[in-house]
Structure 1
Amino acid sequence: MLVMPWLWAVFTVIAAAAQTARNAMQRSLTERLGTIGATHVRFLYGLPFALVFLGVVHMAVPAPAPAVSGTFLVWTLFGALSQIGATALMLAAMRERSFVVTTAYTKTEPVLVALFGVVLLGDHLSLTAWLAILVATSGILLMSWKPGTEQSLRPALLGLVSAALFGMAAVGFRGGIRTLDTPSFVMAATTTLAVGLAIQTAVLTAYLAVTDRAGLLAILKAWRPSLVAGFLGAFASQFWFLAFALETVAKVRTLALVEVIFAGLVSGAIIKQATSPRDGLAIALIVIGVAILLSFG
């Protein structure tokens, strides 16, 4: 299947924009549904859309459905459970820090995901790619740490552990995609998305049914805003998975740092939280790192 070498970057930017909108929507649902409830929204209401995407792909792509192996299920289960934990911790951090700063904490992910990808998937990264990752991540650290002000350790730890789990989720999903025997990267990515969301929906629905039936009922009652969050989540994940099918997770997640810029726009325009000149310098470093990655990585 002929693929343009820059296509993964287009997929990544689209995914980052959709994920920013999804995160903002989920953040607004956290106060209403709680952290676990808001986490479940992206899976429960995202699954129907993922199944629609899969149906469209089956009709449009002239390739048979790939066989699902035990290895595929292990990788996808690993990715799905890691993403549940990452999303819950991210939303918990957002309750204590600003939207853009919490997004920055979670975006310390590229260095971690690069290491995970090299160790677990055998991904190869050039020295230039490592330089791009480090420059962009330094911008994230600059944005996250504010000298001269009181720092709260809890949201920082929540954000950093969330970043590690998001990194493991990306590696797990790319591992799952790579095990599928199909000539179509679109088919592999969409199949993995549908199976991953099905696992996540089953796990969290069962958990809430046992521990918080009132919370589960509240999620069902809040179907209108949840449906929007679910669609945005499935749409973003579709493009993340397409990018993972074409490029190493380290490069994808480094370019994904543009989400911090998108979050800054959302923060100023919608959530009304200020972004300082220091944050502007941090964003400049992120842009430089991304530019190095796209030009030379």
Structure 2
Amino acid sequence: MDLWIPITIAAAFCQNLRSALQKHLKGKLGTTGATFIRFGYGFPFALIYLAGLNLVAGYGLPSPNVEFFVAGAVGGICQIIATFLLVYLFSFRNFAVGTAYSKTEPVQAAIFGLLILGETVTPAGVLAILIGVAGVILISVAQSPLTARNVISSMAGKPALIGLASAAFFGISAVSYRGASLSLGGPNFLMQAAFTLAYVTVFQTIVMAAWMRWREPEQLVASGVNWRAAVFVGLVGVLGSAGWVTAMTLQKVAYVRSLGQIELVFTFLSSWLVFRERIVFQEIVGCVLIVLAILIIMLVA
């Protein structure tokens, strides 16, 4: 098994845990504050990880160039925008359709990977990506009373457009992170990923802190007050991000993000086994499709 596969699965698990912790804190912090703690409390752990690789493992620090700084900054800003758009979707009554469109990220990541990095995907890889996206969309809309008429009428509506935009920004962000990491050219994939992660999280913290200081200072204060719980979000968030960037340094973004959809399977299983929530046939079919897509990707990637 290629190393990027277990790294991606671990990253997806950490992302699932981080999302659960953020939802718990959202009532105390609000959307902006809950988003900020991911970066604001995460960057110290990213710097510790980088220092550990340098001082303990003995890996030399890479020499960043203009391409690295630009790609990392673009990726960081796009990730913030994508996150805000995704949260904004929940203010719409028919947000489920928009959320489903936001799950088209692997498809868009494949397109941006081709346009920006010149990376191609095999026909079998394209099939796996499409199967996985179909499975995620089924799970996303499974609990909503959506009829064919409602889905068709909302395809060109605001939620759908916001969902597509969110997926696009997430796709550009992921491709940018891979481009930034690869531009370092060494000394090895672990240090390249760690250096990229440290730069991006510090950059995002500065950008978000400046925005909150200007527009929502009360959220900045609340983020400090709830530091005990926020520290765990930052730690788990960095573990997940380190996994994503490391995997995307080793493998094409489209494959990594497609495999990362296993996060939805984790969510489904926890809601079923732990919380004993009701499941519907669409969710089961969606999980089967995601698992099928993952198996195909593991064979062809």
Structure-2-length-normalised TM-score: 0.89
User: Shift of the alpha carbon at 1:156?
Assistant: 5.0
Decide which moves more: 118-127 or 8-17: 118-127
Deviations 1:146-205 (A, max 9, x none): 543866866555443322211111011001001103131100000000000010000000
1:139 to 131, 135, 142: 135
Is the aligned partner of 1:227 residue 2:231? yes
2: CA distance, partners of 1:22 / 1:13: 14
2: CA distance, partners of 1:189 / 1:34: 31
Instruction: Look up the match of 1:248.
Output: 252
User: Shift of the alpha carbon at 1:26?
Assistant: 1.1
> Compared with structure 1, are the counterparts of its residues 256 and 277 closer, same or farther at alpha carbon in structure 2 (3 Å cutoff)?
same
1: CA distance, partners of 2:106 / 2:207: 27
1: CA distance, partners of 2:222 / 2:286: 39
User: Shift of the alpha carbon at 1:8?
Assistant: 0.3
**How many residue pairs are counted as aligned between the two chains?**
293
Instruction: Look up the match of 1:12.
Output: 8
1: CA distance, partners of 2:49 / 2:298: 29
2:183 to 160, 179, 185: 179
Trace 1:1-297 onto structure 2 (pairs within 5 A).
Answer: 6-93=2-89, 106-145=102-141, 147-148=146-147, 157-268=161-272, 274-297=278-301
User: Shift of the alpha carbon at 1:59?
Assistant: 2.1
CA contact (8 A) 2:98 2:162 kept: no
2: CA distance, partners of 1:39 / 1:45: 11
Q: What's the RMSD between the two structures over aligned residues?
A: 2.5
1: CA distance, partners of 2:56 / 2:215: 42
Structure-1-length-normalised TM-score: 0.90
1: CA distance, partners of 2:253 / 2:124: 16
Residue type at the aligned position of 2:67: T
CA contact (8 A) 2:72 2:177 kept: yes
Decide which moves more: 157-166 or 202-211: 157-166
> Compared with structure 1, are the counterparts of its residues 186 and 94 closer, same or farther at alpha carbon in structure 2 (3 Å cutoff)?
farther
CA contact (8 A) 1:93 1:156 kept: no
Unaligned ranges ≥5, structure 1: none
User: Shift of the alpha carbon at 1:138?
Assistant: 1.4
1: CA distance, partners of 2:21 / 2:58: 36
Residue type at the aligned position of 1:148: T
2: CA distance, partners of 1:274 / 1:90: 25
